[in-house]
Amino acid sequence: MGIGKRIKEARNALSLTQEELAKKLGITKGAVANYENETSHPKEPIMYKLFEVLNVDANYLFQDVVKIPEKLNDITFSEFDIIKKYRSLDDIGKNHIDEVLKWESDRIKRDSEKDRIILELQKDDTIEANNHIIPYYPYLASAGSGQIIFESSPPSHYIELPDLPKYKNVSYAIGVNGDSMEPKFHFGNILLIESISQISIGEIGIFLVDGETFVKKLGNGELVPLNKKHKAIPLTESSQCLGRVLGILDEDDIVDDEPYIINGVGFAAEKGMGKDNDDQRRLADILSKKLLEKYSTRKDEKPR
């Protein structure tokens, strides 16, 4: 039995004629007949009216189109519509949707993990109740030739920030790897990102283009580097905005910067320190200075 037969079945259960149903829906009797014969299908606005007039839901009308286990039989019409549209896509379109779904699913998992860590820290009284906790991904966003971001790995750790207005909309932090956004952003800077899927032309954001991520200014159909040595990157139909860059983290605001330093050292060690790897040598230099500063501070502290 198809959708049309289910419409007819529900109409008969209410003792309505096709003409009476058409009047309630604000359409012609012929349109109702076409729905029931399945020569045409109701558009979304009419479908919602059908649910109301016939006192049924999407699960009833679509139960023969998509088989759903009883325990999960709570799919909405909008979800059925998404399934229908997904099935009409070619492999390129399906791969793009799969990529977006995976990214969003991973984002939800990251947020859940962040909430869990915050609760644990609050139980231990190790953070102020109003402090802001964000996930930190070191050196995964590229301000150069592009890199994969987030992949399947969780953040290296979470940064605890004070409760200040400038951090209100921050969703996560990433490190800069490259020089294409100089002089505004430099290698080793920590960028504060607001999770948002659309920004205005002229704003700087995080973008996913053909599987690579870039920190760039949004231009008209392209991503624009601030460093003139680098070329603009054309946007494609599958390009996504992953967030808006709010600014650079003031590292003095980090409540506990040890995890940041330790993870950065680990990153440099993992990538190597060869002659041709100038970026990694710069990173090691930055981190070694931070470690020396931290060590000097502790040395000067008086014993309690």
27 phi and psi angles, rounded to 5 deg = -130, 180
Structural domain ending residue among the three candidates 87, 120, 140: 87
Q: 109 and 247: one domain? A: yes
Write down the pLDDT at residue 245: 94
Q: Are residues 175 and 66 in the same domain?
A: no
Distance CA 239, CA 210 (A): 7
Number of domains the chain contains = 3
Q: How far apart are CA 160 and CA 257, in angstroms?
A: 9
The residue range of the domain holding 15 is 3-87
Same domain for 113 and 172?
A: yes
pLDDT tens-place string over residues 24-56: 999 999 999 988 888 888 888 888 888 889 988
Q: What is the pLDDT of residue 162?
A: 76
Q: Closest Cα partner for 152 from 108, 190, 103? A: 103
- Residue-level pLDDT at 284: 56
Residues 185 and 272 in one domain: no
Q: How confident is the model over 63-110, as pLDDT tens digits?
A: 766 554 444 445 666 777 787 788 888 888 888 888 888 878 877 777
Residue ranges of the chain whose pLDDT lies below 70:
1, 64-77, 113-131, 139-157, 253-304
Q: Are residues 288 and 161 in the same domain?
A: no
**Pair 97, 33 in one domain:** no
Give this prediction's pTM. 0.45
Write out the two tokens for 102. 């995976």
Do 109 and 213 lie in one domain? The reply is yes
Looking at the structure, do residues 106 and 78 belong to the same domain, yes or no?
no
Question: Which domain CATH number covers 29?
Answer: 1.10.260.40
Residues 180 and 279 in one domain: no
- Residue 119: alpha-carbon gap to chain centroid: 23
